[in-house]
Amino acid sequence: MNFSEIRTRLDGLDGRTYWRSLDELAGTPEFQDFLHREFPSQASEFTDPKGRRDFLRLMAASIALAGATACTRQPPEKIIPYVRQPEELVPGRPLFYATAMPLGGYGMPLLAESHMGRPTKTEGNPEHPASLGATDIYGQASILDLYDPDRSRTILHRGEVSTWDSFVTAMRAQLNAQTATQGAGFRILTEPITSPTLLDQIETLLRTFPGAKWHQWDPVFGVMQTSGAAPAAAAATYRLEQADIVVALDADIFGMGPGMVRAQKDFAKRRRVDHPGQDMNRLYVAEPALTVTGAKADHRVALRARDVHAFAAALAGAVGAGSAAGVAGDIPEDVRSTWIPAIARDLQAHRGRAVVIAGDTQPPAVHALARAMNESLGNVGATVIYGEPLTGTNRDGIASLGELVGDMAAGRVEVLLMLGGNPVFTAPGHLGFAHHLDRVPLRVHLSQALDETSTLCHWHLNEAHFLESWGDIRSFDGAVTIIQPLIAPLYGGKTALDVIAALNGQGDKSGLDLVRDYWTRAMGGVTTAAWNIEFGETFDKTWRKALHDGFIAGTSSFDAASTEPTAPTEPTATGTTGATQPTQPTTNMSGLEIVFRPDPTILDGRFANNAWLQELPKPLTKITWDAVAYVSPRTAQRLGLESRDLATLTYRGAAQQMPIWVQPGHAEESVTVHFGYGRTKAGRVGSNVGFNAFTLRRAEAPWFDGGLEITKAGTYDISTTQVHHSMESRNLVRVVTKEQYAAHPSVVHEMAHTPAPGMTLYPKFEYNGYKWGMAIDTSTCTGCSVCIIACQSENNIAVVGKEGVGRGREMHWLRVDTYYAGNIDTPETYHQPVPCMQCENAPCEQVCPVAATTHSAEGLNDMVYNRCVGTRYCSNNCPYKVRRFNFLLYSDYTTPSFDMMRNPDVTVRSRGVMEKCTYCVQRINHARGDAKTEGRTIADGEIKTACEQACPSDAIVFGDLNDPNSRVSKLKAQERNYGILEDLNTRPRTTYLAAVRNPNPEIEPAATHTSGAMGH
Amino acid sequence: MSQIFKRSSNALAKASLIGVVATLAFLGWVVMLLMRSSFVTGQNAYVDQPIQFSHAHHVGGMGIDCRYCHTTVETSAFANIPPTKTCMNCHSQVWNQAPILEPVRASFRDNTPLEWTRVHDLPDFVYFNHQVHVAKGVGCATCHGRVDQMPLMLQHASLQMEWCLECHRAPEKFLRPKEEVFNMAYEAPANQLELGNRLKQQYGIASVEHLTSCSTCHR
């Protein structure tokens, strides 16, 4: 790929040019080839004479067979009623229960949908302050984990099937042997824990065994660098709703961490522009790899992770909150001379209404600087609240794990109880966790699958999924959610709570009893943690309300009425608080930098067997099924690397092969690797997929370091959807600045030609009843892609695998296109979710020979699966490329657990059938049924499509266009509303709101950004 | 050399042409007939059930309302098949020793559900909604027939799409006042069309365009 040629070409273009990938810009033969065939790899059959003959022969045979199979009769169906039907259950109507998904110790509050006792979908809990109705991709995809056929189904002892009772007996015998030494050889390794009941149980256990040590490890959430100067920095919660100016210092606030959903909600509230000239927030981001947060920034500076400290120090100096002297790291001269003073002035002009956020991957010094700036600007208490950390031990996970490995190596560990996590895979490679684990005489691991760690343990306990178990957990804001089960454990799994309680001699108690017991005591004030909450008059009332609402009232820090609950006291005060080795960062400040980040979709590998997350295109790069090493175009050029090269990364003596991806907007001389891939025992989906970056990670520098060497080692095939469904350089994204929009509101419309509404040969159709439509605000969309997973879960969408994606056969009904603007080194980035446009003059409908896609009276572009014969004319004629074809039998009809998972209101599609977004017609019909029964019309907001409901930015709005007061009608009445490819006169029902940027005029003078001369 | 074909061959050839067309048409007609026959649709065929439950006795004889057992017919797409408990409400007292009811008692005793075979089995891509039909004045008997006269349950209608569309294209022909929905013996009045049109207005029945849109039933 010739980067300089691309640069020349970009410079030569007038106005703003939007592009989707470097392949597209370079016009590589592969890209052209891909474009010319809507559905690749099929057409070539007919050019080969022999192939054609075989093909026709096969076709004839299949038609004959198809005719014969069509004569089968529908098999008889059983109806199995209850013996005693639960009172609240109405067959055919789902019930919703509030619960929470644990991730890294924190809870993502959810409402789980249950159809006749089977959880089928998870939504955010609208009443919970950490969710406000939205979710993240993990919450949406968790339902697939529950029904994962590779989940472990039994307790194993040395590989043999065993029982819970034998485990408890064996374990108690071992622990009794430990009593003499007060448990000196007993170690517990957990993930970070916020669950009050579990913390209480562990505390009880450690009181019995004062010599025992409790360690915590989690490669993502447990490595927040909280030791050192700013112990409480990581426990900061932000009020982005109050912030006019947000400065993120390598902080991926929209894409990582337990508070990302709420962060997007609050940010979007101040990002939305209802009328020209409205005030909006401004986001500055300094980060190494382009993230969804950086993509949203008004001003983004690509810095090596190790230089973020220098940036923070310079900014603090300019704000007057510290001195920049003596901080290593270099930042570009224009950033130092122009950007930093400008940002500082902007911050000072918005004292108390600005916030500086340091990323969890940055060292304590940066957190301290951010805190100093917030304090000096008067932001503390207004836009940021510093509290106590919620996890039971606020220890550095790296130190904790290091101490454990040290003890294991010294033979001091006799019994190791590992509750959750997968340390054999996730521990930094050089620690040799697996090697030293071998020295422990008794190893127990609780996990949902027989993973890398479980196979090395004497006992494997199969863990219950959170939708199967009782428990409690706190979300990032402190709110306590009672985790309630939706279904009895499918395979009799146990929770960490069950295990600890059994060791405490409370094995006869159910999870429900344990949680209820704790909160009964908490209400009576006899727990270690003093809960400053108003309990109701009776425990039962408080309990029922907490279960119903999904949280205990008064525990959230967002709840202004409540006082901050005091954190539970350190239960491990008995001799394990001090880390033996302080983790002062020993970052190498020279040489090529390596940056470690969790994978955006499968995280640290814990979701490796979740095919939805594997196939979800990673935000920005749209790569599926793989982890890659990201480099900037300039650095790639220097190193002689290109996308899809396989390179050997050598760092501190460890070597690992990784494919290379050239990422526009990446910091120079820096390489970002995502860990989480390369698992060997994940299951049928996730095993032996991709490359394992944990082998390179070091305990001394878990997030970034210098001294990387990189050499090309070959090529590698990567499946990315970024070049699929190309819009062929038509300007589908429209961007204006706040000033342009205020001065000239019609600017968005002038960017393209729109035919008059009457210009059509088809007779005009009056939509008298409802007229469904959708508006998508590209201003607030962060590209987080939760809409795709929500759609997949709601509409029973199949996955196709890496090879299928490579052939362009992905089935997602909704895609999120990423567009770059400007040059390839520091591009602006925009996102555009593209579902079916539900065109009023739909090109697909005219060409279907069997009328399998027709128009409904409410303007939906209906797809009738049972009529479809698979000609694919419709998708060929769709200018938006939103139709998806089942080339093979992608839906899994044979795995019994998936039968339970599927949405019973949506048909499961078979091979040879076209499908596409329906605007969640099952939800429309459901709401219509109720409205009709009650003799009323459907209220605005009563129907939420799956994507709309899940969206943390509220960027997607669905409703009735015939109601002038509906939210969607009001959005469409805005000046920045536009349809894409409207010049084709398709009259799309899905329209977009142009993205409005809010650049700082000091950094980007108004004259330099040309108004949208975008061509037609 | 003599002619291979006689003169009569012309006539034969013509006849065979007509014959081919006629045979194809006949075959088509047979297929059409077959597809609509009860052999294919399962119409009016008795289905084996674990208990020979008689609607004729319970509804016709005892006068039990449909909703005593089919409790969710007004609130959900699915009309509900009663739990064993509903049977035992009465049969713990009456006929509580009857051998024919042993499966019911066994079910209640052992907490194992009865397994009924579905009689009205629509294809899986059809989403029928009882709630709306009942609320809009479509009588039970309109689709299910005189259940109160059926000793064993059978499928009264063909359940083919053309049968659904008969009503969806012209609901006025079938609508009845809401209070008559559960009346098995309801007879359509002589002025059905007039009544139907009035009810269509009154109940806010959707337009025919909507009722015949694909996504109304398929999704």
Question: How many residues would you count in chain B?
Answer: 219
Q: How far apart are CA B110 and CA A661, in angstroms?
A: 62
Q: Give chain A positions within 8 Å (CB) of B46.
A: none
Q: What is the pLDDT of residue A580?
A: 32
pLDDT, tens digit (0-9, with 9 covering 90-100), for A87-109:
888 998 999 999 999 998 899 99
Contact indicator for A415, A185 with CB cutoff of 8 Å: yes
A803 Cβ contact list (under 8 Å, min separation 6)? A719
The alpha helices in A147-259, defined as continuous H runs, are 164-178, 196-208
Average pLDDT over residues A831-835: 94
H/E segment holding residue A675? strand A670-675
**Closest CA–CA distance from residue A814 to any residue of chain B (Å):** 17
Environment class of residue A70 by beta-carbon count within 10 Å: exposed (0-12), middle (13-18) or buried (19+)?
A: exposed
- What are the pLDDT digits (tens) for B166-213? 999 999 999 999 999 999 999 999 999 999 999 999 999 999 999 999
DSSP code for A335:
I
Q: Is the dihedral of CA A149, A155, A157, A161 positive or negative?
A: negative
pLDDT score recorded for residue A578: 33
With 70 as the cut, is the pLDDT of residue A577 above it?
Answer: no
Identity at A118, one-letter amino acid code: R
Strands A106-115 and A118-124: antiparallel
Give the residue ranges of DSSP H helices in B43-186: 55, 66-69, 84-91, 102-110, 130-135, 140-144, 161-169
On chain B, the residues whose CB falls within 8 A of the CB of A77 are: 117-118, 121
Tokens of A368: 């301290």
- pLDDT value of residue A1006: 65
End-to-end CA gap in chain B: 70
Percent of chain A with pLDDT over 70: 88
- How many angstroms separate the CA atoms of A102 and A138, rounded? 10
Which of A55-59, A349-353, A803-807 is least confident?
Answer: A55-59
pLDDT range class, residue A289, cuts 50, 70, 90: very high
Distance CA A256, CA A705 (A): 20
**pLDDT at residue A144 in the model:** 94
Average pLDDT estimate for A418-443: 91
Q: Mind giving me the DSSP string for A160-183?
A: EEE-HHHHHHHHHHHHHHHGGGTT
Check pLDDT > 50 for residue A572.
no
Where does the pLDDT of residue A69 fall: very low under 50, low under 70, confident under 90, or very high at 90 and above? low
| Residue ranges in A934-1000 assigned as alpha helix (H) | 946-950, 967-972
Burial class (CB in 10 A: 0-12, 13-18, 19+), A804: buried
**Whole-number Å distance between alpha carbons of B177 and B163:** 22
How many residues are recorded in chain A? 1016
CB A992 within 8 A of CB A978: yes
Token pair belonging to A10: 């970009």
Instruction: Determine the residue of chain B that is closest to A937 in CA distance.
Output: B204
pLDDT over 60 at A45, yes or no = no
Q: Is A581 on the interface with B (CB under 8 A)?
A: no
Who wins on pLDDT, A427 or A60? A427
CA atoms within 13 A on the CB side of A416: 30
Residue A896 contacts B where some CB pair is shorter than 8 Å:
no
Phi (first) and psi of residue B31, to 5 degrees: -60, -45
Sign (positive/negative) of CA torsion A183, A188, A193, A197? negative
Helix, strand, coil percent content, chain A, rounded in steps of 5: 30, 20, 50
DSSP labels for A437-498? HTT-SEEEEEESS--TTGGGSSEEEEBPPGGG--EEEE-TT--EEEE--SS--TT--B-HHH
Over residues A208-255, the pLDDT tens digits come to 999 999 998 988 887 764 444 345 445 788 999 999 999 999 999 999
Fill in the amino acid letter for A310.
Answer: A
With a CB cutoff of 8 Å and minimum separation 6, the contacts of A821 are A16, A17, A18, A19, A733, A735, A827, A828, A829, A830
A-to-B residue pairs, Cβ atoms closer than 8 angstroms:
133
Q: Which of A83, A115, A905 to mutate to test the interface with B (most CBs of B within 10 A)?
A: A83
Q: Which amino acid is at A869?
A: V
Task: Identify the pLDDT of residue B25.
Answer: 96
- Contact predicate B131/B76, CB 8 Å: yes
Tell whether A862 is within 8 A of chain B (Cβ): yes
Structure-block tokens of residue A986: 């398709």
Task: For residue A624, give both structure tokens.
Answer: 């599926």
**How do beta strands A977-978 and A990-993 pair?**
antiparallel
Q: Which of these, A981, A986, A765, A977, lies nearest to A856 by C-alpha position?
A: A765
Q: What is the mean pLDDT of chain A?
A: 86
Query: What ipTM was predicted for this assembly?
Result: 0.91
What pLDDT is attached to residue A46? 54
* Beta-carbon separation of A79 and B118 below 8 A: yes
Residue spans of beta strands (DSSP E) within A840-967? 853-855, 861-863, 884-885, 914-915, 956-960
- What is the distance in angstroms between the Cα of A368 and the nearest Cα belonging to chain B? 55
CB A449 within 8 A of CB A151: yes
Cβ atoms of residues A630 and A663 within 8 Å: yes
The span from the CA of A952 to the CA of A481, in Å, is: 20
Q: Which of B47, B84, B207 sits opposite A83 (nearest CB)?
A: B84
- Mark which residues 975-994 of A lie under 8 Å from B by CB: none
- Cα B60 off chain centre by: 19
**Tally of helices (H runs) and strands (E runs) in chain A:** 30, 40
Lowest mean pLDDT among A232-241, A367-376, A842-851: A232-241
- For residue B123, the chain A residues in CB contact (below 8 A) are 74, 866
Bridge partners, A646 (sequence order): A659, A714
pLDDT in tens, A964-1000: 999 999 999 999 999 988 888 888 999 999 999 999 9
pLDDT digits (tens, 9 = 90+) for B102-156: 999 999 999 999 999 999 999 889 999 999 999 999 999 999 999 999 999 999 9
Name A478's bridge partners.
none
Residue A232 has a pLDDT of: 46
**How much is the pLDDT for A332?**
87
Q: Residues B32-70: pLDDT tens digits?
A: 898 888 888 888 888 889 999 999 999 999 999 999 999
> If pLDDT is split at 50, 70 and 90, which confidence band does A1014 have?
very low
Which class for A450: exposed (0-12), middle (13-18), buried (19 or more C-beta within 10 A)?
Answer: buried
> Radius of gyration over alpha carbons of chain B, in Å?
25
| Whether residue A424 has pLDDT greater than 70 | yes
pLDDT of amino acid A568: 37
Q: Which residues of B touch A76 (CB under 8 A)?
A: 47, 117-118, 121
Please give, rounded to a whole number of angstroms, the shortest distance from the CA of A84 to a CA of chain B.
Answer: 5
Residue with tokens 């009689």: B119
Give A751-794 pLDDT, tens digit per residue.
877 777 667 777 788 888 899 999 999 999 999 999 999 999 99
Of B76, B115, B206, the CB nearest to A91: B76
Q: Has residue A579 got a pLDDT over 60?
A: no
Q: Residue A1010: is its pLDDT beyond 50?
A: no
A73: closest chain B residue by CA: B40
Of all residues in chain B, the one with the smallest CA distance to A861 is B215
CA dihedral A299, A303, A309, A310 (to 10 degrees): -90
C-alpha–C-alpha distance, residues A807 and A33, integer Å = 12
Torsion of CA A104, A110, A114, A118, to 10 degrees: 0
CB–CB of A82 and B84 under 8 A?
yes
Whether B204 and A932 lie within 8 Å, measured CB to CB: yes
Interface membership of A72 toward B (CB under 8 Å): no
Calpha distance A711→A762 (Å, rounded): 61
Instruction: Tell me how far CA of residue A847 lies from CA of A353, A761, A787, A882, A899, in angstroms.
Output: 56, 16, 30, 16, 34
Contact present, A117 and A88 (Cβ < 8 Å): no
> Is the pLDDT score of A482 beyond 80?
yes
CA B131, CA A459: separation in Å to the nearest integer?
A: 52
Q: Which residues of B lie closer than 8 Å to A, measured between beta carbons?
A: 40, 47, 72, 74-78, 80-85, 107-108, 111-118, 121, 123-125, 127, 129, 131-132, 135-136, 204, 206-207, 209-210, 213-216, 218-219
In a 3-state reduction of DSSP, which class is residue A194?
coil
Chain B residue with the nearest C-alpha to that of A928: B132
Q: Tokens at residue A604, please?
A: 């640290």
Q: How much of chain B exceeds pLDDT 90, in percent?
A: 80
Under a CB-based contact definition with an 8 Å cutoff, are residues B131 and B74 in contact?
yes
